[in-house]
């Protein structure tokens, strides 16, 4: 059995875990609540092990790979790559919200429901962070504290500054300083390599973790529990698919890159994102897929992917658009065109501020709703509609996180191509990227 496990292709094993998890979860969902409860209580730790292992490696991976990445690019080039990637991230985020709104206008999820306020809408007392704080907090007052708290944006900021300083010192006229900077650079790179090695080991556990994570989601929600929320789920997922085919497919095609090859090369990261619901947690896998399957050099991906895992949330942007519309329809106040324009802006910014952890998007939805005057106050109709969305958050989060990660990798591939650094043999029709 163990022999079969370790000899079978990793992707095949993950897919088996995924499908088996769905089946077992759905069966449990139909079974007695006691059995489901017992299953969840006794097995949830097996899924949590996978999440914890990924979380364990996130901070060191970001730190070492980003310092190494920033130090290996000349400061002038870092600025160019940075501008390009931020440009692509902004364009895809705004496109995503727009797609979400278009699909929500087409399908009108929630229309005719006429939700009224109830006492059952208590799950809404979380406060969204203010936008100014999101930007200010990027600069750490104490980098060690940021590392300890796994605050990704400040870590990224510090690592880039650190890397640039190494890169400048490497060119120092003082030979001792230059030698020291070279040595530091080697150490950081070796540390990053060590982290990737650990990631490969962690992925060997992925099939088991995936099985339990997915089984528990389905056991809790069950397909029938979707009820009136089926349409909002469907709208989100159709918009997700449209973004992949039209948005990513179109953008990649402009740069003569194939969508199919992209999906094949990124699939391990996409599946990991789907089941862990965490872009940050998926980062180690994304970095590996980008390098090994898609031929993206680490000097680019180690800078753009950690940044993307934190600021580029295409799936979340779609979700914010669709859900704001759903809440409008469901409460009998469909969003006006003006309100929808505001949603495009605030949802793009909110997506940037969304942390790459499970459920973070649902908190940012509060900010978007507030921006169009829909206050989520306990007991109100808006709160009830919001609580409904929270009920299926896991299902929506799986899809949106998958796109959050997919968007980062697609934009990174394009930037690598425009920098003339993409190993295009991985993209030729003969190449078969995979696990």
The binding site for ligand ASP (CB under 6 A) comprises 277-279, 313, 316, 354, 356-361, 397, 400-401, 404
Q: Identify which of residues 257 and 367 has a Cβ nearer to ligand ASP in the complex.
A: 367
Q: Identify which of residues 265 and 356 has a Cβ nearer to ligand ASP in the complex.
A: 356
Give the per-residue SS3 of the chain.
Answer: CHHHHHHCCHHHHHHHHHHHHHHHHHHHHHCCHHHHHHHHHHHHHHHHHHHHHHHHHHHHHHHHHHHHHHHHCCHHHHHHHHHHHHHHHHHHHHHHHHHHHHHHHHHCCCCCCCCCCCCCCCCCCCCCCCHHHHHHCCCCCCHHHHHHHCCHHHHHHHHHHHHHHHHHHHCCCCHHHHHHHHHHHHHHHHHHHHHHHHHHHHHCCHHHHHHHHHHHHHHHHCHHHHHHHHHHHHHHHHHHHHHHHHHHHHHHHHCCCCHHHHHHHHHHHHHHHHHHCCHHHHHHHHHHHHHHHCCCCHHHHHHHHHHHHHHCCHHHHHHHHHHHHHHHHHCCCCCCHHHHHHHHHHHHHHHHHCCCCCCHHHHHHHHHHHHCCCCCCCCCHHHHHHHHHHHCHHHHHHHHHHHHHHHHHHHHHHHHHHCCCCCHHHHCCCCCCCC
Least Å distance between CB 86 and ligand ASP? 18
Q: Identify which of residues 109 and 295 has a Cβ nearer to ligand ASP in the complex.
A: 109
Least Å distance between CB 179 and ligand ASP? 41
Q: Identify which of residues 65 and 354 has a Cβ nearer to ligand ASP in the complex.
A: 354
Task: Give the residue closest to ligand ASP by C-beta.
Answer: 361
Least Å distance between CB 283 and ligand ASP? 10
Least Å distance between CB 138 and ligand ASP? 18
Least Å distance between CB 226 and ligand ASP? 19
Q: Identify which of residues 181 and 320 has a Cβ nearer to ligand ASP in the complex.
A: 320
Least Å distance between CB 249 and ligand ASP? 21
Least Å distance between CB 422 and ligand ASP? 25
């Amino acid at each position: 059995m163990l022999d079969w496990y370790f000899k079978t292709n990793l992707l095949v094993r993950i897919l088996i875990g995924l499908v088996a998890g769905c089946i077992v979860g759905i069966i449990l969902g139909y079974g007695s609540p006691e059995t489901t409860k017992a299953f969840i209580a006794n097995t949830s730790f097996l899924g949590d092990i996978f999440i914890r292992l990924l979380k364990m490696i996130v901070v060191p991976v970001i730190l070492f790979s980003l310092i190494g990445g920033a130090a290996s690019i000349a400061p002038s080039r870092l600025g160019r790559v940075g501008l390009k990637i931020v440009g692509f991230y902004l364009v895809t985020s705004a496109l995503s919200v727009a797609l979400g709104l278009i699909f929500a206008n087409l399908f009108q999820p929630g229309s005719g429901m006429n939700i009224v306020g109830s006492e059952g809408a208590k799950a809404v007392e979380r406060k969204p962070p203010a936008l100014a704080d999101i930007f200010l907090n990027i600069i750490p007052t104490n980098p060690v504290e940021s590392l300890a708290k796994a605050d990704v944006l400040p870590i990224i900021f510090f690592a880039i500054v650190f890397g640039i300083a190494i890169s400048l010192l490497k060119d120092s006229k003082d030979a001792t300083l230059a030698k020291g900077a070279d040595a530091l650079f080697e150490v950081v790179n070796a540390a990053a390599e060590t982290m990737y090695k650990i990631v490969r080991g962690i992925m060997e556990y992925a099939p088991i973790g995936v099985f339990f994570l997915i089984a528990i989601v389905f056991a809790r929600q069950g397909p029938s529990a979707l009820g009136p929320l089926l349409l909002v789920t469907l709208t989100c997922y159709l918009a997700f698919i449209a973004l992949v085919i039209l948005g990513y497919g179109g953008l990649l095609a402009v740069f003569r890159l194939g969508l199919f090859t992209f999906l094949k090369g990124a699939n391990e990261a996409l599946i990991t994102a789907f089941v862990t619901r965490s872009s940050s947690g998926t980062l180690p896998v994304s970095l590996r897929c980008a390098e090994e399957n898609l031929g993206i050099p680490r000097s680019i991906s180690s800078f753009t992917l950690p940044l993307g895992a934190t600021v580029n949330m295409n799936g979340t942007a779609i979700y914010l658009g669709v859900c704001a519309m759903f809440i409008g329809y469901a409460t009998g106040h469909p969003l006006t065109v003006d309100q929808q324009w505001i949603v495009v802006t605030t949802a793009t910014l909110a997506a940037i501020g969304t942390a790459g952890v499970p459920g973070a998007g649902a908190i940012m939805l509060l900010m978007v709703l507030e921006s169009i005057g829909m206050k989520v106050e306990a007991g109100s109709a808006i709160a009830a509609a919001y609580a409904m969305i929270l009920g299926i958050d896991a299902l929506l989060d799986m899809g949106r996180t998958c796109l959050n990660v997919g968007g980062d990798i697609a934009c990174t591939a394009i930037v690598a191509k425009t920098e003339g650094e993409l190993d295009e043999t991985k993209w030729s029709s003969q190449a078969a990227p995979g696990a």
